[in-house]
Amino acid sequence: MKLLVGVDLSESTEKIVEKTERFANALSAKIWLLHVAQPEPTDMYMAGYEPDSIGMGLDPQLLRDSLAERLHREHRKVHEIADRLRKGGLDATALLVQGATVETILEQASKLEVDMIVVGSHGQGAIYQLLVGSVSEGILRKSLCPVLVVPTRN
């Protein structure tokens, strides 16, 4: 069995990985840990820019360096999780792909020919769902393979 596990590297990632680890051990599954990275406006804030200064004389190199640093940090975290799973005897590979989250997860699932996608659900309220939607809902609606949604709300 082949599992694609979407991780956002938030606090909920550990719950998703724990559930996946149980499934993978029981099914002798191959795991791909996927973190979908997106350049976000917050990269500008991390570089020290205030919201009212966006678009006014920003140093493009500083912004690129900030984004590269964030992507490197995220890549390292995904690899650390995969390393831990491998030390536990599982076949795990870390992936970091840039793009729109739902579409990228579905594209990777198709490309890797996985048997199941595993994602978390943060359990946001109805207003949030209406305005923003959710990654897990988008994957459930569009996936051609089974999807396991792990509740991660505390």
The predicted pLDDT at position 38 comes to 78
Q: Is residue 128 part of a domain?
A: yes
Rounded CA separation 19/38 (Å): 25
Name the packing angle between helices 101-112 and 135-142 (round to 10°): 40
Q: Is residue 46 domain-resident?
A: no
DSSP assignment of 39-59, as one string? --THHHHHTT--GGGTTSS--
Please check whether residue 7 lies inside any domain of the structure: yes
- Residue 86 falls inside a structural domain: yes
The DSSP bridge partners found for residue 98 are 37
Cα 53 to Cα 124: distance, rounded to the nearest angstrom: 31
Query: What is the structure's pLDDT at 55?
Result: 52
CATH at 100: 3.40.50.620
Structure tokens at 48: 């020290």
- What is the pLDDT, as a whole number, of residue 40? 57
How far apart are alpha carbons 7 and 31 in whole angstroms?
Answer: 12
- Reported for 122-129, long-range contacts at CB under 8 A and 24+ positions apart, including other chains, are 122/10, 122/12, 122/152, 122/153, 123/151, 123/152, 123/153
Token pair of 132 as six digits: 């923003």
Is residue 61 included in any domain, yes or no?
A: no
Q: Distance between CA 121 and CA 33 in Å, rounded?
A: 16
Is 47 among the domain residues?
Answer: no
Task: Provide the domain limits for residue 128.
Answer: 2-37+71-151
- pLDDT score for 56: 52
Q: Is residue 112 part of a domain?
A: yes
pLDDT of amino acid 154 = 60
How many domains are contained in the chain? 1
> Is residue 106, in this structure, part of any structural domain at all?
yes
pLDDT value of position 125: 53
Token pair 């719950």 in the structure block, residue: 15
Position 133 scores a pLDDT of 53
Helices (H), 90-134: 101-112, 126-131
Q: Tens-digit pLDDT profile for the chain (154 aa)?
A: 999 999 999 888 999 999 999 999 999 999 999 999 975 554 444 444 444 445 555 677 887 888 888 889 999 999 999 999 999 999 999 999 999 999 999 999 999 999 999 998 865 555 444 444 588 889 999 999 999 999 887 6
